[in-house]
Every structure is written in C-alpha cells, then in structure tokens.
Amino acid sequence: MKGIVLAGGNGSRLRPITRVVSKQLLPVYDKPLIYYPLSALMLAGIREILIISKPADLPLFRRLLGDGSHLGVSFDYAEQPEPKGLADAFRIGADFIGADPVALVLGDNIFYGQGFPDVLQCERKRVDGVTLFGYGVADPRRYGVGELGADGELLSLQEKPEHPRSNQAITGLYMYSNDVVELAYELEPSARGELEITDLNRRYLGQGRARLSPLGRGFAWLDAGTHDSLVEANQFVQVLEQRQGVRMACLEEIALRMGHIDADTCYALGIVQEDSDYGRYVVEAARRFAERPLATIVEA
C-alpha cells in the first residue's frame, strides 16, 4: 500500500499565521504538524509516501523531510497549485499509486491511541473498496457522518447534516483499493468547484464496498485547522508527553521500532538534534531499544 499526505490548501482559517508558511509546517508542541499524519502512515507499515502541497511550500517540506532514506522510507513530492478538493489527490498521485492500494491522510489530522498501529495494519490488509475511520463526537453536525447498522454495516454518509443519523464523524484518514484512481477521474466537480471525497466514498457505498472502522474510547482525533483547535492540539501533546514520558509522532522512534532503521542510525539522528528535548529523546529511544550503554553505540 502507498500513502499520500495532502498538505495543500491555503490555511485560510489560520490566517494571518499561514500567510507565509504552510499550516502543516506550524509547530504542534515539539514538532511540525506534518509529523503527526506521517506517523499514522508509518505505523500502518507504509513506506512509500507522497506529500502533496502548494508549489511555494514544497521546497520547505523537502528541506524538512528529505527523501525519507534516513528513516528507511521513501518520500516523494507533488504539486497542487490550487485547492481542487480532497479527491484531487488521487489524480495528482495516479502515477505514484501505480497498481497499489493507497491510504490518504489529511495533513492537519492527529491520531493517538493504544493499539492504533494494530488497527491500522489490520484494516490495511482487509481493505476492499474504501475503509473510513469514525470517531464519536459531541456535535456531528460539523462533520461528515457515517451511519452504522446493528451489524456494523455502513448504511449512509452525510456531509455536515442538520439532523445527523449518528455521532460517528468521518476522520481525515482513508484507505482505498487501487480503483480509487479510476473513480476519482470519473468524478464531476461539486457546486463549489471541487472533487469531493464524500462523493467518492458514496460511489463505494453504492457498490457495497465501503466500511467504517470506529475508533472507540481511548483514542484521540484532533483536527488542527483553526486557531482554537491548534492550541488544543498543542496542549494535548504537551500534557501527554510530559506525563507519560513518551513522544507522539516521533518519526525516528517509529522507524526504529518498525524495523526500518537500526539503533545506531536512530542514535545518529538524535545526536544532530541533541540541543533539543526531542533530539535527546531520540537518543534515549535508541539506547533503550539497543539495551546497551551509550558508549557502545556508534556515534555520528
């Protein structure tokens, strides 16, 4: 399975702080926002990832992330000159996707929960059509909503409904079979001139090939697309990391534990950032993983 992070858009809800920098490059506590959706794809076992953004922002993402080889993965980049809807990602990424299934994650979405990697890897293996991830919210009228039957079957998809049929908001993480590219090319722009992801998902629903995987209690889903939600995301990450002593979305640690890099490489990646708490955490992660003294790990 390939992965796509859609990190485009104008970040208009975060103006003026996004006038000169992409929303996905803004900090969420100790790391750039894009680390969080990238971590979801990496935890799913996906190693080939396409990052889509505006032409002016792509050099900054390249500078931040490189080609991914230092993490044992591959990052590619593609331009979306102007927002044309979420489903446009599959047209832009058609050559990258090739003959593989694909996961799409929005660049401002943050996921956290015990057992999340297991959920992702299980759903990755069973996807046939589209798999959506639901999250129970207090006010589903603000979101796309999935209605489930008694047997867990996905019955309907509503977009910001006045009278929601459930409290299951559709998160910004999607897994698709390879025919998503073909279906994306068949879509017609909506009244607002965009290729709507909900229209695409309804195609699969009509074929009986859409399922919803609810993220239950113990999971957290945050959309850092407004000033308030960005502050909330920063506070959530700060509290969790300080109390538990772990780092969310630490790409180096994830790469190490997924077997993409070894402890020596992880240690070297931490050393070049050792002036920061984040860098020191990466060094300690390498030491813990190797279960040996610092002096026995090859230094950069």
The alpha-carbon radius of gyration of the chain (Å, integer) is 19
pLDDT level of residue 292 (50, 70, 90 thresholds): low
Cα 150 from Cα 147, distance rounded (Å): 10
pLDDT digits (tens, 9 = 90+) for 114-129: 899 999 999 999 999 9
Q: How far apart are CA 224 and CA 205, in angstroms?
A: 28
For 153, half-sphere exposure in the C-beta direction (CA atoms, 13 angstrom radius) is: 8
Question: Which are the contacts of 258, defined by CB distance < 8 A and separation ≥ 6?
Answer: 42, 43, 45, 72
Residue-wise pLDDT for 1-10, tens only, equals 999 999 987 7
Return the SS3 of 35: helix
CA angle 299, 38, 171 (to 5 degrees): 155
What the block records as the tokens of 156 is 């309907």
φ, ψ of residue 7 to 5 degrees: the values are: -120, 35
Average per-residue pLDDT for the chain: 92
| Cβ neighbours of residue 296 closer than 8 Å, sequence gap 6 or more | 290
Q: What is the pLDDT of residue 294?
A: 43
pTM, entire model: 0.93
Say which DSSP state 157 is in: E
Q: How far apart are CA 168 and CA 215, in angstroms?
A: 9
Contact present, 123 and 234 (Cβ < 8 Å) = no
Place of tokens 């002096």: 295
Q: Please give the average per-residue pLDDT across 131-154, as a whole number.
A: 92
Query: Tokens at residue 198, please?
Result: 């909900």
* pLDDT higher at 210 or 291: 210
pLDDT at 226: 85
Distance of alpha carbon 61 from alpha carbon 63, whole angstroms = 5
Burial 117-129 (b: 16+ CB within 10 A, else e): bebbeebbeebeb
Please tell me whether residue 200 adopts helix, strand or coil conformation: helix
Residue type, 207: Q
Q: In angstroms, rounded to a whole number, what is the distance separating the alpha carbons of residues 133 and 124?
A: 12
Judged by average pLDDT, the poorest of 17-21, 52-56, 120-124, 132-136 is 17-21
Higher pLDDT, 295 or 249: 249
Nearest to 106 by CA among 7, 178, 195: 7
